[in-house]
C-alpha cells in the first residue's frame, strides 16, 4: 500500500512540474516521506532546487543521494551534470560524464553534448567541437542533430575571430 501511495504522489509531482511548483513540492514531500530513498523523487527534488530556486548546492545533495540510491537510473545524470556545470564544478562534472557513459540505457549523444559544453566552458573550443561531432554520430533525433550543428557553428565563431586578428596584424606589418 505504501508503494502505491508513494507512486501516486510521485506521479502527481511529475505531472505538476514545472508549472505548479507548490503542488510539485507538496507531492514530492509526501512521496519522499513514504520512500526517502526513491531515486526519481530525489532527482525531481534536485531539479526543483537547481532549475527553479538556483540553489545548486542543495540540488547537488539531492542528485548525489539519487545516484547513491539508483545508480542505474539514467535520467538523473543529465540533470546532475547540468547542475554541476551551472555551479562551475567542472572537475566533478567531467568525472560524472565519464561514469554516466558506462550506464546502460544512458543517452550517449546527450552525454557527449554535455561534455562539449563542459569543454567549451573551459575554453577548449576544438575539443568541444570534437565532442559535439561525437554527439552527432550517436544521435537518433533530427532536432537534436540540428541543435548540435548550431552549437558547433556557434563555437567555431569563437575560434575564428582569433584567426582574423592575426591576419590583420600581418597585413599591417607589410
Q: Is the dihedral of CA 146, 139, 125, 88 positive or negative?
A: positive
What confidence category does residue 163 fall into, taking pLDDT thresholds of 50, 70 and 90?
low
DSSP 103: S
Tell me the average pLDDT of the chain: 92
HSE (CB half, 13 Å, CA atoms) of 62? 25
Instruction: Decide if pLDDT at 120 tops 90.
Output: yes
Mean pLDDT value of segment 105-123: 97
Q: Is-above-0.75 flag for pTM?
A: yes
Amino acid at each position: 500500500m505504501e508503494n502505491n501511495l508513494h507512486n501516486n504522489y510521485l506521479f502527481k509531482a511529475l505531472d505538476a512540474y514545472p508549472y505548479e511548483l507548490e503542488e510539485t513540492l507538496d507531492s514530492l514531500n509526501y512521496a519522499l516521506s513514504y520512500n526517502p530513498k526513491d531515486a526519481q523523487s530525489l532527482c525531481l527534488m534536485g531539479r526543483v532546487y537547481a532549475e527553479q530556486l538556483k540553489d545548486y548546492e542543495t540540488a547537488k545533495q539531492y542528485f548525489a543521494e539519487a545516484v547513491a540510491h539508483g545508480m542505474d537510473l539514467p535520467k538523473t545524470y543529465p540533470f546532475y551534470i547540468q547542475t554541476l556545470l551551472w555551479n562551475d564544478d567542472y572537475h566533478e562534472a567531467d568525472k560524472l560524464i565519464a561514469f554516466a557513459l558506462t550506464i546502460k540505457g544512458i543517452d550517449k549523444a546527450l552525454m557527449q553534448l554535455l561534455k562539449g559544453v563542459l569543454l567549451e566552458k573551459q575554453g577548449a573550443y576544438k575539443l568541444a567541437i570534437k565532442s559535439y561531432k561525437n554527439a552527432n554520430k550517436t544521435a537518433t533525433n533530427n532536432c537534436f542533430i540540428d541543435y548540435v550543428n548550431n552549437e558547433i557553428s556557434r563555437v567555431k565563431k569563437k575560434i575564428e575571430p582569433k584567426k582574423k586578428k592575426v591576419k590583420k596584424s600581418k597585413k599591417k606589418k607589410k
